[in-house]
Each structure stands twice: as structure tokens, then as C-alpha cells.
């Protein structure tokens, strides 16, 4: 399963492959979201913090 083809159910947190109905196969909920929309914001929020931490640990802080 590819990340871009994965969806997460907002009701039961089931992760499933995108289908034409975009409905959860477990609870039939239509409250689902593309996993990409969840992953990308997380990365952009955490990246500066992680880079800062890595710089601190390596001693290369300007
Ligand atoms: Zn569900």
C-alpha cells in the first residue's frame, strides 16, 4: 500500500487503501482523510525542531 493511496478513518482510525467510495471498510464511515494530508503537515512542523536538535548535538550551532 502506498502512502498516496492510503486513507485513515477518523472514526475508528483504520488505515485502508483508497477506494472509489472513500469509505472505511471497517465501520463504513465516510469521515476519512488521505494519509498524505496527515503526514505532510507533521513533517513540516517537526522538521525545524529536529534540525535544531541535530545541530545542537553535533555542536555545529552558529
Ligand atoms: Zn472506520
Distance 15 CA to ligand 1 centre (A): 8
Quote the pLDDT of residue 9: 95
Strand arrangement of the beta sheet that strand 15-17 belongs to: 15-17, 6-9, 32-34
Does 16 have pLDDT greater than 90? Answer: yes
Distance 26 CA to ligand 1 centre (A): 5
Distance 42 CA to ligand 1 centre (A): 22
pLDDT tens for each residue of 21-60? 889 999 999 999 998 887 766 566 666 777 677 778 777 6
Grid coordinates belonging to 36: 498524505
Cβ-Cβ contacts under 8 Å for 25 (sequence gap 6 or more): 14, 16, 19
CA–CA dist 12, 25 (Å, integer): 10
Distance 16 CA to ligand 1 centre (A): 9
- pTM of model > 0.75: no
Dihedral sign for Cα atoms in the order 18, 13, 43, 1 = negative
**Where do the structural domains in the chain lie, given as residue ranges?**
3-58
Amino acid at each position: 500500500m502506498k502512502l498516496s493511496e492510503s486513507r485513515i478513518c477518523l472514526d475508528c482510525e483504520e488505515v485502508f487503501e483508497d477506494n472509489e467510495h472513500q469509505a472505511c471498510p471497517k465501520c463504513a464511515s465516510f469521515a476519512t482523510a488521505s494519509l498524505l494530508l496527515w503526514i505532510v503537515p507533521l513533517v513540516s512542523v517537526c522538521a525545524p525542531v529536529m534540525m535544531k536538535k541535530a545541530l545542537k548535538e553535533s555542536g555545529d550551532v552558529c
